[in-house]
A and B are shown apart, each in its own frame.
Chain A
Amino acid sequence: MSGHGLPVGTYGYDATDRAFLADRVDEFRDQVQRRLDGALSEDEFKPLRLMNGLYLQLHAYMLRVAIPYGTLSAIQLRGLAAVARRHDRGYAHFTTRQNIQFNWIRLEDAADILAELAVVDMHAIQTSGNCIRNVTSDEFAGAAADELVDPRVYAEILRQWSTLHPEFSFLPRKFKFAISGSPQDRVAARFHDIGIVARRDDAGRIGFGVHAGGGLGRTPAIGIPMREWLPEEELLAYMEAILRVYNAHGRRDNAYKSRIKILVQALGAEAFTRAVEDEFAAMPRHRFRLEPKTVAAIAARFGTPALEAPADAAAVLAADRAADPAFDHWVSTNTHPHRDPGHICVVLSLKPTGGIPGDASAAQMDAVADLAERYSHAEIRVSHLQNLAFGHVRRDRLRSLWQELAALGLASANAGLIGDIVCCPGLDYCTLANARSIPIAQRISDRFADAELQRRIGPLRINISGCINACGHHHAAGIGILGVDKKGEEFFQLTLGGTAESDVAIGQILGPSLPEAEAVVAIERLVETYLSLRTGEERFLDTYRRLGNRPFKEAVYAAA
């Protein structure tokens, strides 16, 4: 807790928020009972359960719980661990949208679970359906040295604006926001329906760069620039204008063409932007004005950490690094500079060698909650890359934290490296999937387990999706892998050259899809080709951009 009694990093609910959640749980409990009694058919009940995050997946019901902008308190993480232990099979899965999924839920238990989540100020509202989904943000929010604005405050404003918004509860399709408070895009802003990057002008005033029409899935698209500078006070009005244009003109007759990216492409960037600006100009904007006092009131509901560190904290860390090469290596890959010189941000890898990316056991969640209380002001972040993070760790205590993380299997020194694989649940869990994504992730992870090899390869992201819906963000990776079904057999299509960072690009298909065993060999050949052709400190992406896909294609398919 902060000095003001509020949880650090998460928005503090008040009595109104809690009463709303309690009512919502009661409503869902009644809906479940009416389904079991026969008053509701499955066709009637399905949209109601989906509005509460309850899907029917391959093995059972799956509950997706929202983690707003990826921030959790230790109490909340323990609440999630308790659900995993009491109602599931002792584990859960962190997703690429900073949410968490439980895979083995019983319909009969669902309302009780929501009630237990409400006790820790959590819910599953708008984690499904054609509405505005969880607003995602930077895992180093409120901590990073390069941050201009704390994006969580604006993510919370967007969350409150969009929750049960009557006009936007039945959009043509789902709608995803991401917001970054740093000029360094760590949120994949331009692969979202709306991507927002906070800025400051020369006078220190806050504004936003706005992109719209981005997305992955069947038709990957990079969002078009809508505004280079949107003043803070106009944030909600402009978002309202974009959503209104989409809601009015987005297609509802074809699910494959219903996302805003398709509307932007159909109208053209210029016409779409003009339509939004016309709507914005015609709106009673005073009704949507985001007043400074409103921003301040929201910001005041976030606890802020008291950042106190000994004067020699940085020197202690430097000495610890010099004394222990393994620790030094982990620090070089799994930390990020903090705005306070005595602190540092830390990535807790959920990518152990041969493990399931994003999965965490209830025991691990409880242990991470304990560590968060002792090392990082009782606050945990979830990244869209399926890792956890601590925002505010004292530099002089980092080695001690690392040792404790290692004992939990959470200290893989691979953040941003080839072992840090992003992977959807795939055919092992998902009813939409065409192929299993986790086993190929495990095989690649095993193949490149050697820490020194990973370091030599350098920054290289591998993302894997089990179907074209691209929950594994395969188009946004240096090497993307897409599972496809060929007459009941699993095949894998490779894409190269994608990235969601500031130099955003969509990965391009390398060639014909391959069976699993050949796909893993192909990854080895791609890496070997890169290592043999790179010059100096070139990243994989740099080499690919310099040479194109020809040498990589030859390496993969020459032997076939």
Chain B
Amino acid sequence: MDVRNSRRQDGRSSVITANSLRGGQVVWLGAGDPLGDGWRERIEQATPVPNDAIAKALDRAAAAEAARVVIGIYGVELDPDSPTPMPVTERERIRAAGPSVRTDLGPQACLAGGDQGAHR
């Protein structure tokens, strides 16, 4: 796991992320089957997990990697002060939204009605 994403503070929550094997796009683990429809393209649809439970949640999610649904599973700590799921690091905020210099691309654009190529 990237060291930048392994820093976790007690009392906070994290979400689980990966990339789709086939499409490569960033996905977040929400409600549903990790081997099927549990992976979503919007961080808002991810299910937060308390940091003291994230290690076990990651272990369970690892089955999705073995099943070739996703690759590169890891946990992303959330900003406790944000009303919506917001990673604490700039890197993960950019992964969740899309390039900050191309707001017409990535999930941020879908929210605004753009990026028709995002969900092929």
Contacts and interface: CB of A to CB of B under 8 A. Distances in A.
Nearest to A429: B99
B101 A59 contact: no
A428 B94 contact: yes
A60 B23 contact: yes
A61 B106 CA distance: 13
B95 A60 contact: no
A89 B21 contact: no
Interface string B84-120: 0000111100110011111001100000000101001
Interface in B47-74: 65, 68, 71-72
A428 B106 CA distance: 11
A427 B90 contact: yes
A56 B24 contact: yes
Given A59-B99, A59-B106, A428-B100, A488 B25 contact: no
Given A59-B26, A428-B94, A438-B101, A38 B68 contact: yes
A107 B94 contact: no
B94 A105 contact: no
B21 A106 contact: no
A58 B95 contact: yes
A59 B115 contact: no
Nearest to B65: A42
B13 interface: no
A56 B65 CA distance: 15
Given A61-B24, A107-B23, A36 B68 contact: yes
Contacts of A356: 101-102
Contacts of B100: 428, 436, 439
Contact of B19 (A60, A108, A429, A438): A60
Interface in B10-52: 19, 21-26
A36 B24 CA distance: 13
Interface string A399-443: 000000000000000000000000000011100010110110010
A428 B101 contact: yes
Interface string A28-48: 000000011010001000000
Main secondary structure of the interface of A (DSSP, over half): mixed
A60 B24 contact: yes
B25 A36 contact: no
A485 B23 contact: no
A201 interface: no
Given A89-B115, A488-B90, A108 B23 contact: yes
Contacts of A439: 100-101
A88 B23 CA distance: 12
A427 B22 contact: no
Contact of B24 (A106, A488, A490): A106
B99 A488 contact: no
A507 B97 CA distance: 35
B76 to A, nearest CB: 12
Contacts of A42: 65, 71
A104 interface: yes
A489 interface: yes
Contacts of B91: 58, 427, 433
Contacts of A58: 26, 91, 94-95
A493 B117 CA distance: 36
A490 B115 CA distance: 27
A106 B99 CA distance: 17
A58 B89 CA distance: 14
Contact of A36 (B22, B95, B102): B22
Given A89-B117, A436-B100, A56 B19 contact: yes
Interface string A96-130: 00000000111110000000000000000000000
A36 B21 CA distance: 8
Interface string A464-496: 000000000000000000000100111000000
Contacts of B71: 42, 56
B95 A59 contact: yes
A104 B90 CA distance: 20
A544 B95 CA distance: 39
B20 to A, nearest CB: 9
Given A60-B19, A89-B105, A106-B22, A488 B117 contact: no
A357 to B, nearest CB: 11
Given A59-B25, A89-B115, 6 more contacts: A36-B21, A36-B22, A59-B106, A61-B24, A106-B24, A439-B100
Q: Which 9 A-B pairs have the closest CB atoms?
A: A60-B24, A61-B24, A428-B99, A438-B101, A488-B89, A106-B23, A108-B22, A428-B101, A42-B71
27 contacts: A35-B68, A56-B19, A58-B26, A59-B95, A59-B98, A59-B99, A59-B106, A60-B24, A88-B117, A89-B115, A104-B117, A106-B23, A107-B22, A108-B23, A356-B102, A428-B102, A429-B99, A436-B90, A436-B100, A438-B99, A438-B101, A439-B100, A439-B101, A442-B101, A488-B88, A488-B89, A489-B90
Interface of A: 35-36, 38, 42, 56, 58-61, 88-89, 104-108, 356, 427-429, 433, 435-436, 438-439, 442, 485, 488-490
Interface of B: 4, 19, 21-26, 65, 68, 71-72, 88-91, 94-95, 98-102, 105-106, 115, 117, 120
